[in-house]
Amino acid sequence: MARRRRLGARVLKAVASALRLNILRLLYERGPMSYTEIMNVLKLSPNRDAGRFAYHLKTLTGMDLIEPDPETKKYLLTDMGKTLVEFADELDSNAFRRRLLVRTSRLAIENFDRNKIAESLVREAEVPVELAQKISREAEKRLMKLGTKYLTAPLIREFVNAILIERGLEEYRHKLTRLGFPVYDVSLLMRETSARGDDVEKVRITAGSRVIEEYTLLNVLPRDIADAHISGSLYLNNLGSWILKIYGVMHDLRVFLRNGLTFKNFLDQRISLRPPRNLRSALSLISSMLYLASAEVTNEQALDYFNVFLAPFAKGLSKDEIKDSLRLFLETTNITVPTGVSLGLETVLPSFLSEADVISSGGETSGVYADFIEESQLVASLIMECLRERGNAKPIFNPSVIVKMRPETFKDSGAERILFEAHNLSLSGLPFYANLVSEETNMVSYAADGLRFSADWTKDWELDTVRTGCLDNITLNLPRAAYEARREKDQFFRILSDYTEKGLRALDIKSRVILRRSQEGLLSFLLPKEAQDPYLRFQESTCILGFVGLNEAVHAVTNKSIHEGEEALDFAEEILTHIIEEKKAYLKNMKLRFALGLTPSFDAAKRLAELDIERYGLGDVYVSGGRENPYYTSMTAIPLEANLPLDDLLSLESRFEALTPGSHLFKIPLGESEADAETLFATTQRIAKNHKIGFYTFDRTLTYCNKCEKTFFRELTKCPICGSVNAVTRFSRKPIRYHTQLP
């Protein structure tokens, strides 16, 4: 026993020197090292410290703490040496633990424990246990040197990440990254939100979206796609909800009119609303449905055939009764539903609905929709009347109204009257128009943001155009491909193929992620986990491959804008045809509904233009808006600044709409002109007769005076009635719906 104690004392004496303990720790962490390697790491001089260093090595060797390897000429740690290092570290750790507290991410204060670092490395980043323990020891050593009063979980994570980077363990660091805002950014977010006039909920939503954006880029998308988004060769729209929600949905009101509505309230109690028995309860049910579905939808909810499906509930009611119910619905939706809402109004009854069974009071089936044509047109007309009356004060911008024109519209006096009433409303820029006059557009549904659903997938209008949706859309930066290709056509198309493949792969990932959210039970309204027949028809839902800067890309390669010659026009069509062919090749063995679309993404158009200016310089980048507000052409192929006659512009745009069936919307600017309903109606007649423009609206800036409570259909700096400047608010489309125009 005495001999063993003497041996233990000699071993402890051997590591009483800080240098000898550092040698042991170095070999423990890095494995076998040569005489020279140890000296270099410890920053010892071969001339000045050689004798002292040799003495320390001899001491450690004599105590059987290290041993030389005759073959490699390197020193390695013995089992006793390993035990001693671990014992010394444990002593340091115990002393350190008693001195230092940690504020954890669970909002608790605990004593420091390096084992929790190792556990996090194994659990979060899947680091091997032995390596995790080594990294945790290294982190502990560095933290011991700080001299701080307390540690925080983010600070410890930063030290661990630094060690991982130093050791070249980038993949582990990638998984261990912490998501969120720096303190300064949160303060800035609150100030900016206040300046825009938004509320505290907007701060919370923006902060949460930022975390989801970072998570998606780091942990969901492959590195090349994430880098493409960050660098600006493509743009992932709605990144803050990319892995959680779908972009838009086309509802089928008959489902809720027949079955009522079942959902969980905030107390997690299951609530059931019975099928409605009258118009007011039907509209109340629809409002509730839109609010519930908005939790799973990012952008737009569309209710097509709105007046047709409500017509049976209007039977036998007076105009005033119908109008009061509709007014309440419009005002409630405007206030309570956070997504956009589109109401598709039929001017005439579509042939495929005329013999369809009616869903009426209490969910009962009685008659066919052809029996309710008069009520259908009355509901559409009264919706226009409600919006027009409200528009004389402050317009309702949500829901949006889509007026649908069919070949029979111009042969039916009632339908033509509804269409004219809509053009009265268009003086304020509110309605949208779906031009379904041609035979091939008979079974087509639109949402106000341009989303288009056609019976071209399964050839069944119910499967293809209702109870379906758009999972999401991405935007390709076409000018970037031209700049990278140094304006050489063949190289441009090679780069464009790469961009397109990344975009399609991102959308493919989106579809699989949404399916996973459904299986996790997170999309309980649209895609319930246990449902045999979920409400949303996932297989019939689409993904949109969008783009910005078609005109700018054409100009970069041909030195001409699209409208300036046949060569430029042909090249623009060649670009879109190339993307379509790449899409077909990618989807050859996959049953996914993807489409090319002119998507309305002003944020993408602006951000991608700014990134290209930053990379290539303003002199080499062709943009709209100038140095202060650069952006690429989006949502249309031809920029409105082209100043072409309207008919020429419509003819050109119709060629590109044919190539972008997934989404398109053409905005006809009214500017400061004193337009009247007759002039706008004549324009629509001309479009229906001569142009295959599928979806359009009349666009103008509105000015509202809070003091006079009156809207003026032009841009003003002061109220023409009371002369007030501060009481004036201007509204403009950004890019689809009207938003407050900031100074």
274 domain residue, yes or no = yes
Residue 705 lies in a domain: yes
Residues 507-533: tens digit of each pLDDT = 999 999 999 999 998 999 999 888 888
For residue 536, what pLDDT is reported? 95
Q: Which residues constitute the domain of residue 457? A: 253-466
Report, as an integer, the average pLDDT of 41-58: 80
pLDDT digits over 441-477, tens only?
Answer: 789 999 999 999 999 999 999 999 999 999 999 999 9
For residue 591, the SS3 value is: coil
Least trusted range by pLDDT, from 170-184, 198-212, 448-462, 649-663: 170-184
- Is 339 in contact with 300 (CB distance < 8 Å)? yes
Quote the pLDDT of residue 431.
94
pLDDT greater than 80 at residue 618: yes
Tokens of 270: 């299951």
Count CA atoms closer than 13 A to 247's CA, side-chain side: 28
Cα–Cα nearest to 231, from 625, 424, 495: 495
The H or E element that residue 679 is part of is: helix 677-690
According to the model, what pLDDT value does residue 219 have? 86
- Joined tokens for residue 230: 């960050």
In this prediction, residue 10 carries a pLDDT of 64
Residue 34 lies in a domain: yes
**Helix H or strand E encompassing 176:** helix 170-176
pLDDT of residue 424: 92
Kindly state whether residue 727 falls inside one of the protein's structural domains.
Answer: yes
pLDDT digits (tens, 9 = 90+) for 669-689: 887 766 789 999 999 999 999
Model confidence at 133, pLDDT cuts 50, 70, 90, reads confident
CATH number, residue 33: 1.10.10.10
Of 307 and 157, more confident: 307
Q: Is 507 helix (H, G, I), strand (E, B) or coil?
A: helix
The number of beta carbons lying within 10 Å of the beta carbon of residue 8 is 10
Q: Does the pLDDT value for residue 373 go beyond 90?
A: yes
Q: Would the pLDDT of 75 be above 80?
A: yes
Dist. CA 181–CA 186, nearest whole Å: 6
Give residue-wise pLDDT tens across range 408-451. 999 999 999 999 999 999 988 889 999 999 867 789 999 999 99
pLDDT of residue 563: 92
Q: Is the pTM of this model over 0.85?
A: no
Higher pLDDT, 242 or 99: 242
Query: Of the candidates 99, 114, 132, which is a domain's last residue?
Result: 99
Question: pLDDT exceeding 70 applies to what percent of the chain?
Answer: 93
Render the burial of 70-103: b for 16+ CB within 10 Å, e for the rest.
eeeebbebbeebeebbeebbeeebeebbeebebe
Same domain, 623 and 737: no
Phi, psi angle pair for 704, to nearest 5°: -120, 135
Under the banding of pLDDT at 50, 70 and 90, the label for residue 659 is very high
Q: How far apart are the first and last CA of the chain?
A: 88
Q: Which residue, among 417, 369, 416, 379, has the nearest Cα to 401 in the 3D structure?
A: 379
Closest CA to 348 of 406, 429, 387, 389: 406
Task: Give yes or no for a contact between 90 and 82, defined as CB atoms under 8 angstroms apart.
Answer: no
Whether residue 607 sits in one domain with residue 486: yes
Band (pLDDT 50/70/90 cuts) for residue 97 is low
CA dist 557 and 571 (Å) reads 9
pLDDT value at 108 more than 90: no
Domain count, the chain: 4
Residues 405 and 502 occupy one common structural domain:
no
Q: In terms of domains, do 290 and 405 share one? A: yes
Q: Residue 265 pLDDT more than 70?
A: no
Q: pLDDT at position 442, please?
A: 84
How many distinct helices (H) and strands (E) make up the chain?
27, 27
Same domain, 347 and 451: yes
140-177 burial string, b = 16+ CB within 10 Å, else e? Answer: bbebeeeeeeebeeeebbebbbebbeeeebeebbeebe
Supply the pLDDT for residue 232: 93
Per-residue pLDDT, 374: 96
Q: 570 and 716 share a domain? A: no
Measured in whole angstroms, the distance separating CA 24 from the mean position of its chain's CA atoms is: 53
For residues 433 and 513, state if they share a domain. no
Does residue 424 share a domain with residue 314?
yes
- Going by C-alpha positions, the residue among 465, 454, 461, 346 that lies closest to residue 408 is 346
CA dist., res. 389 & res. 711, Å (int): 11
Q: In this structure, is residue 734 part of a structural domain?
A: yes
Say how many residues make up the chain. Answer: 743
pLDDT reading at 543 higher than 90: yes
**Domain boundary, last residue among 466, 488, 506:** 466
Percent of the chain's residues with pLDDT above 90: 52
* pLDDT value of residue 154: 77
Of the three residues 436, 466, 496, the one that is the final residue of a domain is 466
Phi, psi of 58 (to 5 degrees): -65, -40
Q: Is residue 343 over pLDDT 90?
A: yes
Residues 484 and 384 in one domain: no
125-134, 178-187, 619-628, range with the lowest pLDDT? 178-187
Query: What is the structure's pLDDT at 743?
Result: 53
Q: What are the pLDDT digits (tens) for 573-610?
A: 999 999 999 999 999 888 889 999 998 888 899 999 99
Higher pLDDT, 358 or 39: 358
Structure tokens at 627: 């140095």
**437 and 302 in one domain?**
yes
DSSP string spanning 350-412?
A: -HHHHTSEEE-GGG-EEEEGGGGHHHHHHHHHHHHHHHHHHHTSS---SSEEEEEE-GGGGG-
Most confident of 233-237, 638-642, 708-712: 233-237
Say yes or no to pLDDT of 21 above 80. no
Q: Tell me: the pLDDT tens digits for 286-296?
A: 999 999 999 99
Whether residues 260 and 285 share a domain: the answer is: yes
Q: What is residue 681's predicted lDDT score, i.e. its pLDDT? A: 94
Q: Among 108-122, 298-312, 605-619, name the one with the lowest average pLDDT.
A: 108-122
449/668 Cα distance (integer angstroms):
15
Q: Is 568 helix (H, G, I), strand (E, B) or coil?
A: helix
- pLDDT over 70 (residue 571): yes
- Is residue 126's pLDDT more than 80? yes
Residues near 156 by beta carbon (within 8 Å), at least 6 away in sequence: 102, 117, 139, 143
Query: Which residue, 429, 393, 428, is CA-closest to 710?
Result: 393
- Angle (CA) 146-147-148 rounded to 5° is 90
Separation CA 477–CA 622 (nearest Å): 13
- Same domain? For 260 and 233 the reply is no
Q: What is the mean pLDDT of the chain?
A: 87
144 domain residue, yes or no = no
Q: Is residue 164 domain-resident?
A: no
Cis status of the peptide bond prior to 399, with omega within 30 of 0: yes
Residue 233 lies in a domain: yes
Residues in Cβ contact with 388 at an 8 Å cutoff, skipping those fewer than 6 apart: 421, 424, 425
Which helix or strand (DSSP H or E) is residue 454 part of? strand 452-454
